[in-house]
């Protein structure tokens, strides 16, 4: 489809361009018409600029009515999705392909998830190529275990949704004709663009989606903000000038689920949101002991603790 064809890429991520497109349409049925409108306005330049370079990762941004999204950033994002999905699936009881596996296979997969995560972290400062012996978006081409293939394919699905939601955030800036001048205005624009992307996901939830699909949309929404915890270079970057503070922004999203029809997703939200916080703290070697009696208590507890950590690192 229009907007995605130009993305040829250097990494296996480029193979997912039609998956991203499919999820983009899934969430935003008028999306193609909207991109075509931008194309005309933009003197016939592709409204989505997938830029391919060998640089450290850059977060996506909208400029002059174009969305810029870097391939290396997408590789980083895929690895975070794989890593988080691995931990999440391990907390779930009915994951068939994990239930029937032996201990050695599980250990291998955990080691792969960790290696991918470490590679993703290294991309923040220096470009390097994907080690294709590790899980990746085209797993069938590589000698990987059946479990690694399965988790990679599930990651492709999750990743494509997360990427579509990130595109909606950027579209939210273009739709809203944002041109902030002061720091407060910048922050308000980010909140508006976040809300725009949240609504894209939830406007679509009424349709006849399976429960599993709805649940993966929730994970994708949480990761569309949660990945930022892993993208920052240091703890003091939790505080931002032109964006809402990351902790505030993240918990704005998790609290947003506590209203009306979204409430039935709370358990999924709480479990996954807690897991992201827990992985973030582990990465930064922050030793915490959350209460373990309920997911909601844990989440509230993390909100307080992370706010405290953010204040300490101002």
Least separation, in Å, of the C-beta of 188 and Zn ion?
11
Least separation, in Å, of the C-beta of 189 and Zn ion?
7
Measure the CA–CA gap between 290 and 280, rounded to whole angstroms.
Answer: 14
Least separation, in Å, of the C-beta of 47 and Zn ion?
16
Which region, judged by CB under 5 A, interacts with Zn ion, from 185-193, 200-208, 257-265, 267-275? 185-193
Residue 143: exposure state from Cβ atoms within 10 A (0-12, 13-18, ≥19): exposed
Least separation, in Å, of the C-beta of 275 and Zn ion?
24
**Do 265 and 214 touch, CB atoms closer than 8 A?**
yes
Least separation, in Å, of the C-beta of 39 and Zn ion?
21
DSSP 124: T
Which region, judged by CB under 5 A, interacts with Zn ion, from 141-149, 191-199, 227-235, 297-305? 191-199
Give just the sign of the alpha carbon dihedral 193, 32, 23, 233. Answer: negative
> Whose structure tokens read 């779930």?
92
Least separation, in Å, of the C-beta of 169 and Zn ion?
6
The site string for Zn ion over 104-143 (x = CB under 5 A, - otherwise) reads: ----------------------------------------
In sequence order, what E strands does the chain have?
48-51, 61-63, 66-70
Pick the closer one to Zn ion by CB: 9 or 176.
176
Pick the closer one to Zn ion by CB: 190 or 303.
190
Site for Zn ion in 26-55 (CB under 5 A): none
Pick the closer one to Zn ion by CB: 63 or 284.
63
> Whose structure tokens read 């895929």?
78
Pick the closer one to Zn ion by CB: 71 or 194.
194
Measure the CA–CA gap between 2 and 37, rounded to whole angstroms.
Answer: 11
Q: In what order do the strands lie in the sheet with 66-70?
A: 48-51, 66-70, 61-63
Which region, judged by CB under 5 A, interacts with Zn ion, from 9-17, 193-201, 233-241, 253-261? 193-201
* CA distance between the termini of the chain: 45
- Rule CB under 5 A: which residues touch Zn ion? 190, 193
């Amino acid at each position: 489809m229009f907007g995605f064809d130009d993305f040829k890429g250097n990494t296996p991520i480029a193979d997912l361009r039609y998956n991203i497109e499919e999820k983009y349409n899934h969430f935003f049925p008028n999306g193609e018409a909207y991109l075509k409108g931008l194309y005309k306005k933009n003197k016939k330049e592709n409204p989505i600029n997938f830029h391919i370079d060998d640089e450290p990762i850059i977060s996506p941004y909208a400029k002059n009515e174009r969305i810029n999204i870097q391939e290396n950033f997408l590789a980083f994002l895929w690895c975070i999705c794989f890593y988080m999905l691995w931990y999440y699936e391990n907390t779930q009881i009915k994951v068939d392909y994990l239930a029937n596996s032996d201990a050695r296979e599980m250990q291998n997969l955990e080691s792969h998830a960790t290696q991918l995560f470490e590679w993703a972290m290294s991309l923040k400062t220096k470009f390097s190529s994907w080690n294709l012996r590790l899980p990746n978006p085209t797993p069938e081409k590589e000698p990987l275990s059946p479990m690694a293939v399965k988790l990679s394919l599930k990651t492709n699905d999750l990743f494509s949704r997360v990427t579509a939601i990130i595109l909606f955030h950027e579209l939210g800036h273009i739709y809203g004709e944002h041109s902030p001048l002061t720091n407060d205005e910048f922050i308000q624009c980010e909140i508006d663009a976040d809300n725009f992307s949240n609504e894209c996901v939830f406007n679509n939830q009424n349709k006849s989606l399976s429960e599993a699909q709805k649940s993966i949309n929730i994970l994708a929404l949480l990761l569309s903000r949660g990945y930022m915890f892993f993208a920052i270079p240091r703890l003091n970057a939790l505080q931002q000038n032109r964006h809402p503070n990351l902790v505030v922004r993240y918990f704005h999203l998790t609290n947003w689920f506590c209203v009306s029809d979204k409430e039935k997703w709370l358990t999924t939200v709480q479990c996954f949101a807690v897991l992201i916080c827990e992985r973030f703290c582990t990465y930064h070697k922050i030793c915490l002991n959350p209460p373990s009696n309920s997911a909601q208590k844990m989440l509230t507890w993390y909100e307080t603790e992370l706010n405290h950590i953010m204040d300490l690192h101002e």
